[in-house]
Amino acid sequence: MKILIINGPNLNMLGIREPEIYGKQDYHALEAYCREACRELGESVTGGIDCEIYQSNHEGDLVDRIQQAYFDGTDGIVINPAAYTHTSVAIMDALKAVSIPAVEVHLSNIDSREEFRHISYAGKACVRSFMGYGFEGYKKAIAFLTGQYGDLPS
């Protein structure tokens, strides 16, 4: 199974930007966490999980990578569109265009933050959202895409 994990703007600044909201671990720790989650959950998936992690601060780059997923055999997308969550119809349209099951992830609970953060355009094209779980939200998303979500400990 091939899973693409996409991270949007400013996630490369984890540990620096507002650690009281996003945590003190840096982006490399997030990448390591996601790779380990794919390795661990991949033990129950025939052929394992091929995990690619992609980050960009540029909307068009994120759209291009979503579109490329259609052609490279990606089976599922985990996406944290970050600030583009609330503004990008283009990312929503790209997710709809490729018709690859996508799960939205946010480190914080956007519904409990400023009102402008309550809308998620990308979420409208996703089959599920996990918010406010920190890094663990990524593992929940991967488990959901692999059909193992019900097997995770609470």
This prediction's pTM: 0.91
Q: Helix (H, G, I), strand (E, B), or coil: what is residue 59?
A: helix
**pLDDT for residue 86:** 86
pLDDT tens profile 75-119: 999 999 999 998 899 999 999 999 999 999 999 887 666 675 668
Find the mean pLDDT for residues 128-139. 96
d(CA 117, CA 97): 24
Q: Which of 22, 84, 121, 138 is catalytic?
A: 22
Tokens representing 25? 């671990």
CATH of the domain at 31: 3.40.50.9100
State the DSSP string of 66-132: HHHHHHTT--EEEEE-GGGGGT-HHHHHHHHHHT--EEEEESS-GGGS-GGGS--TGGGG-SEEEES
* Domain that includes residue 91, residue range: 2-151
Residue 84 annotated in active site:
no
Residue 33 annotated in active site:
no
pLDDT tens profile 136-146: 999 999 999 99
Tokens representing 98? 């490729």
Q: Which of 70, 84, 106, 149 is catalytic?
A: 106
Tokens representing 21? 């909201």
Burial 40-69 (b: 16+ CB within 10 A, else e): ebbeebeeebebebbbbbebeebbebbeeb
Domain count, the chain: 1
